[in-house]
């Protein structure tokens, strides 16, 4: 059920559930219909842990106020909230698509554009939250489906797991997730990881700490020799 305020939003006369996303929480795509029969989409997210929900809403508010590309929170309910729907393709889809299309020829320049957009977004995220809270806050959840790319750039979606920490942890988790996607440790994934490692040095990352985070949780016996070179 949706809050009455939601139903009156944008002169809404009806709504329907369009999709339920795969998520650790209950995340639903809602289609709303106005009196003029216009259709608009919103996302309803239910988080069982109320403190985590409030934290996410607060962080979204801070980031929105500081012009970072994240969805706007429209309404809060007792155990859920409604936010705007962001159209685009998530990083999981994009990276899988890149690898498929670059099967015969690695496209450094196209990958570089995506890497730059992601690093610019996450660098602003760290800066904004450190200025606003006085603490180094990291995402602590680098699921690739939490990032959407469209014509306006990268959007971040999920902030309930945020906590104090070092950005090298986030980047190590991010690269570890890429390396172990579907068919893990492919030549393309390893080359892409190397490309990111070269780029993040300019953003002040400690590469040794990032490498250590990459290897956390990986089965060392299954890591190919080519990937072991990342340790050096």
For domain 4-84, give its CATH number from 3.90.79, 2.60.40, 3.30.200, 3.10.350.
3.30.200
Higher pLDDT, 178 or 215: 178
> What are the pLDDT digits (tens) for 2-49?
554 555 455 555 566 678 877 777 888 888 777 677 778 889 998 888
Tokens coding 58: 């607060």
Check: CATH 3.90.550 for 89-231?
no
- pLDDT at 60 (0 to 100): 97
Q: Tell me how far CA of residue 184 lies from CA of 79, 96, 138, 189, 216, in angstroms.
A: 37, 11, 26, 8, 15
Q: Rounded to whole angstroms, how far apart are CA atoms 135 and 110?
A: 34
Q: Where are the domains of the chain?
A: 4-84, 89-231
Structure tokens at 22: 């795969």
Q: How far is CA 137 from the centre of its chain?
A: 15
pLDDT in the model for residue 224? 67
In whole angstroms, what is the distance from residue 132 CA to residue 58 CA? 11
Please choose, from the candidates 199, 193, 202, the residue with its C-alpha nearest in 3D space to the C-alpha of residue 231.
193
**d(C-alpha 164, C-alpha 139), whole Å:** 9
**pLDDT digits 0-9 by tens, 176-190:** 999 998 888 899 999
> What pLDDT score does 178 carry?
94
């Amino acid at each position: 059920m949706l809050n009455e305020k939601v139903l009156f939003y944008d002169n809404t006369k009806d709504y329907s559930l369009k999709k339920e996303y795969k998520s650790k929480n209950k995340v639903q795509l809602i289609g709303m219909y106005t009196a003029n029969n216009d259709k608009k989409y919103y996302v309803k997210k239910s988080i069982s842990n109320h403190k985590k929900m409030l934290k996410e809403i607060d962080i979204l508010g801070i980031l929105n106020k500081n012009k970072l590309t994240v969805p706007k929170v429209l309404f809060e309910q007792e155990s859920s909230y409604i936010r705007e729907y962001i159209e685009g393709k998530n990083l999981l889809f994009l990276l899988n698509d890149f690898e498929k299309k670059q099967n015969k020829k690695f496209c450094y320049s196209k990958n570089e554009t995506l890497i730059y957009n992601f690093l610019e977004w996450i660098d602003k995220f760290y800066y904004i939250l450190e200025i606003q809270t006085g603490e180094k806050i990291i995402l602590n959840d680098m699921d690739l489906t939490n990032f959407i790319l469209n014509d306006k750039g990268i959007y971040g979606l999920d902030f309930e797991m945020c906590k104090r920490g070092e950005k090298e942890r986030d980047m190590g988790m991010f690269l570890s997730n890429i390396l172990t996607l579907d068919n893990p440790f492919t030549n393309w994934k390893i080359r892409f990881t190397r490309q990111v490692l070269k780029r993040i040095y300019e953003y002040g990352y400690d590469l040794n700490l990032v490498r250590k985070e990459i290897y956390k949780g990986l089965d060392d016996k299954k890591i190919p020799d080519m990937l072991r070179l990342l340790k050096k």
